[in-house]
Structure 1
Amino acid sequence: MSLDIPAAIEDGLARLPTRVAAILFVAYLVVGALSTVAGQTLGLAVQETLRRTFQGSNAVPPSESMAAGPMADTSPLALDVGPVVAVALFLIQIVLAQAVGVVTVRTFVGQARRSFPDDVDRRFGWVLVNALVAGFVVNVLIFVGAIFLIVPGIYVAVALYFVQFEVIVEDKSVVDALRDGWALTGGQRLPLFFLLVVLFAIGLAGAAPGYVLGLVGAPQLAVVATSVAVGSVTGLLTTAIGARAYVQLKPDGWAPAGDASPFKY
């Protein structure tokens, strides 16, 4: 099947004013808040570790140096913990974000409105691990492509865009998802590129309110809260549009793994 960009956008937008989308929005808020805390905590922990390394025996206590560091004013949600705990917190939020992503993709790929798919937790642990690995592999391949030139990196990003969808929806292994995700976009990579440009623009628009608040000197907590809230909306929207585009490229009569009609309207 061919990709119809306006239809994918319209279909994705239609999935936001629903009960399940409202629940997912709350989950995105939680993940966004945790991600912000984890990111700021890791940043300050790394800064403190570097400071201790360079100061040697003259290093000041962590609580004092973190309070006086240049990142302190811009990291209001950072926790005063060591680097090991900071890394652990960062990894936990990555796993949690991926878990929410699995539920979101499985929901938006179907026709859900008032309830989640009956089998949304199907092989959840196995799929979660494979989705994390697949995402890592795709990012590495994009990075390798970008090393040679920007264009190869963009091409790989477009060609492998649906790899995680193949893992999440079809319960495929990483290797199978890479192969089938590449094949799925064959012949549709130019329109898919334009769709990804639209999704990128949506992401930029979502980042704009927080950026503007930062420019006008708003309190950092207000900047963070606005960024997380708006980012949750744009994150849901881009995932919904991507899910509907994925469905368009599947063969006629295709249904998600599991029951033939596992989604409740």
Structure 2
Amino acid sequence: MSLQIGDALGDGIRRSLTYSGGVLMVLTFVYQLLFLGSVNAVFIDILPPEAQQSGQLGFALPVPAAVASVIAVVGLAFGVVLYIAATRALTREQSELNSLPGELFTRRMGRAFISSIGANIIVTIAVTIGFILLFVPGIFLAISFIFVIFAIGVEDERAMDSLSRSWELASGNRWGLFALGLIVGVITAVGSSIGSVASFVSPAAGQVLSLALTSVFAIISYGILADAYLQVRGEKPGSGGGTTEPTSDPEAL
């Protein structure tokens, strides 16, 4: 099915501005706050005493470096689980978004977690090489693999299968996905930049505000991508039902 950018933006925002979206925003903020605070605590610990008192690193958890390191690792792992759960939550029917069942965080999560780590490593390497070579291949690959996490979270695909599945879903819609990505990126950048202004008053306050805004826009972005994902699968209400056949030419834009 052809991607409708306007529908993806409008319906995606509506998906994110629900009970499920609100809880995901709060969880995202808590996860990012703990992760940033623990990383800053580790860096502060290795700085000389005079630098530690400057407060230039911003928000830091008041815990020993060893504890902060553990929190950072656990927080990073929880972030992966959270975004997998977000793909499952935000692709449900609109009427189901007034709840956030625990099953979304537990169903085959071990396999999904490992698959997402493996797929992310592959995508990161491929996209980075693409950007280094001619830049355009990097953009092409980033768009082609945009639905990898949805294939893993929603369709229970493994790492390698999620790459080919995302490629199929993006085929024939890459220009639309590119435009959608630009719009979301600009909105997110403008909103998150507000925190930079607050940093002039207080580095810690600026970081916390930036994380709060980033959390909101991250889930809105996931809501928009979730709607786009349902569109290209042909499973949105009124789309005719069922999953559409992928484009026969995987190179088509």
Equivalent position of 2:14 in the other structure: 14
Where in structure 2 are the equivalents of 1:228-243 lying within 5 Å?
A: 228-243=211-226
- The whole-number CA distance in structure 2 between the counterparts of 1:164 and 1:225 is 27
Contact between 1:202 and 1:238, CA under 8 Å: does it hold in 2? Answer: no
Matched, 1:155 2:140: yes
Structure 2 stretches lacking a partner, 5+ long: 236-240, 244-253
Provide runs of 4+ in structure 1 moved above 6 Å: none
Relative to structure 1, the CA distance from residue 93 to residue 2 in structure 2 (aligned partners, 3 Å threshold; closer, same or farther) is same
Deviation at 1:159, TM superposition (A): 0.8
Equivalent position of 2:30 in the other structure: 30
Matched, 1:144 2:126: no
Contact between 1:8 and 1:244, CA under 8 Å: does it hold in 2? Answer: yes
* Deviates most, 218-227 or 36-45: 36-45
Equivalent position of 1:202 in the other structure: 187
Aligned-pair Cα RMSD in Å? 2.2
Count the aligned residue pairs.
Answer: 234
Deviation at 1:119, TM superposition (A): 4.2
Equivalent position of 1:260 in the other structure: none
Equivalent position of 1:52 in the other structure: none
- The whole-number CA distance in structure 1 between the counterparts of 2:113 and 2:242 is 23
Contact between 1:160 and 1:182, CA under 8 Å: does it hold in 2? Answer: yes
- The whole-number CA distance in structure 2 between the counterparts of 1:38 and 1:137 is 27
Deviation at 1:70, TM superposition (A): 7.5
Matched, 1:224 2:226: no
Equivalent position of 1:249 in the other structure: 232
Q: Could you say which structure has the larger radius of gyration?
A: 1
Matched, 1:171 2:156: yes
Find the partner of 1:116 among 90, 100, 105: 100
SS at match of 1:100: helix
Equivalent position of 1:107 in the other structure: 89
SS at match of 1:235: helix
Deviation at 1:186, TM superposition (A): 0.8
Deviation at 1:117, TM superposition (A): 5.3
Contact between 2:116 and 2:152, CA under 8 Å: does it hold in 1? Answer: yes
TM superposition score normalised by structure 2:
0.84
- The whole-number CA distance in structure 2 between the counterparts of 1:133 and 1:42 is 27
TM superposition score normalised by structure 1:
0.80
